[in-house]
Chain A
């Protein structure tokens, strides 16, 4: 997964959950402290599953969807912040939960449904796009800009 940049995105077709899980683990080896990873894609395309696989590889236990609580925190060696803005309605609501303050803490940050938070994100971050091809396969594209 070297040489990942804007002009050189990584594109892969995953045929199974196991496949996606392995991709996530490979990707997690690139991650450093204070990295931000945004995840785009429709419902059921595998965003939470992807973060879960990464969080697990960092030693997190009982990883589940943060859609309801907006944020799940995992106190692993490098703290993991798993955001989900699915329920939020506008940029102001994201600001109101103190999102920018979180980004200044020590950790790695994952954001599902990040569209409305884009202006608040650091310039350099990973973007991962999920596309549903059929019941079991997903196209996963990783960019770094």
Chain B
């Protein structure tokens, strides 16, 4: 069984083909391939760019997989959350294709897709598990009894963790996205040199808040005239990153312990952060907790993760009809 996954929820147009064993035949992402293949810059974000990109990307995904459309068993598409205009392109395309090919259509939540990226690379994940999805747009802590039986334990009440990274990166004039850059320069600094507020760390719930930390960091940069030429920037990056990682870690471990969970899945773009991965790995080595995270290339938006989520839904025969619509509604 082979599933074609389509992802257009934000900047990247992506198409991928994955089978029931979670083998990836191909996983094409616009920002990488179209750029090289067709020359010229692919402007970010515009849904018109998705319209231009979707057909060549799907064709590339098929040719890279050495497969014909007739060999595809179902089409899985990310329907929400995301930018509505962008999502609509993928959803309309998937619906048309499903209709023409008379193949089942599968609706996938983008956040669930991120979590399912883990199944593409790990064969020994067992339910129940807790997952932390952390990216530029999301910070959510979710408990899964089964793939379609889950509960959101906590979420950010203001900014996503990745957003705090990117915005502070921008103030420091680091290249976009700021997260990986801060991760890189933080390695040269002392994480204990600046004490940033750790928002909501002692609150009894599982919610996160990063707006106050972002503001404190922005004011610190201004007050201390931090710039790329000063050595202090390393200490700043290390301390700022440490504050975010610590809050994410503490809240997650609290949820894991209080729910008696033995398996943890990290997901989303910020799952590529080396300190965040380390802290969970170290904990896992000392405690009875299995920790999984995707390799860095599957942390960011891609269609293979959408197809992976589609596999579960195919197996449960959870198909969508042609009335399926995109939505910017948040959450899982």
Binding site for B on A (CB under 8 A): 42-44, 48-49, 52, 62, 64-65, 67-73, 75, 86-89, 92-93, 96-98, 132, 135
Contact = CB atoms under 8 A, between A and B. Distances in A.
A95 to B, nearest CB: 9
Contacts of B163: 65, 67-68
A72 B81 CA distance: 9
B159 A64 contact: yes
Contact of A43 (B45, B48, B82, B218): B218
Contacts of B49: 96
A49 B215 CA distance: 12
Given A42-B218, A44-B218, A68-B136, 17 more contacts: A44-B214, A44-B219, A49-B211, A62-B331, A64-B158, A68-B135, A69-B82, A69-B328, A71-B83, A71-B84, A71-B328, A73-B329, A93-B44, A96-B48, A96-B49, A97-B83, A98-B47
B45 A65 contact: no
B46 A96 contact: yes
B156 interface: yes
Contact of B45 (A49, A72, A88): A88
Contacts of A88: 45
Interface of B: 10, 43-49, 81-85, 135-137, 155-160, 162-163, 167, 171, 211, 214-216, 218-219, 328-331
Contacts of B171: 43
Contacts of A42: 218
B47 A64 contact: no
B211 A43 contact: no
Nearest to A96: B46
B215 A93 contact: no
9 contacts: A67-B167, A68-B10, A68-B136, A69-B137, A70-B45, A71-B84, A93-B44, A97-B46, A135-B219
A66 to B, nearest CB: 9
Nearest to A88: B45
B10 A69 contact: yes
Given A52-B158, A65-B163, A96 B331 contact: no
A54 to B, nearest CB: 14
Contacts of B162: 68
A65 B82 contact: no
B330 A64 contact: yes
A78 to B, nearest CB: 17
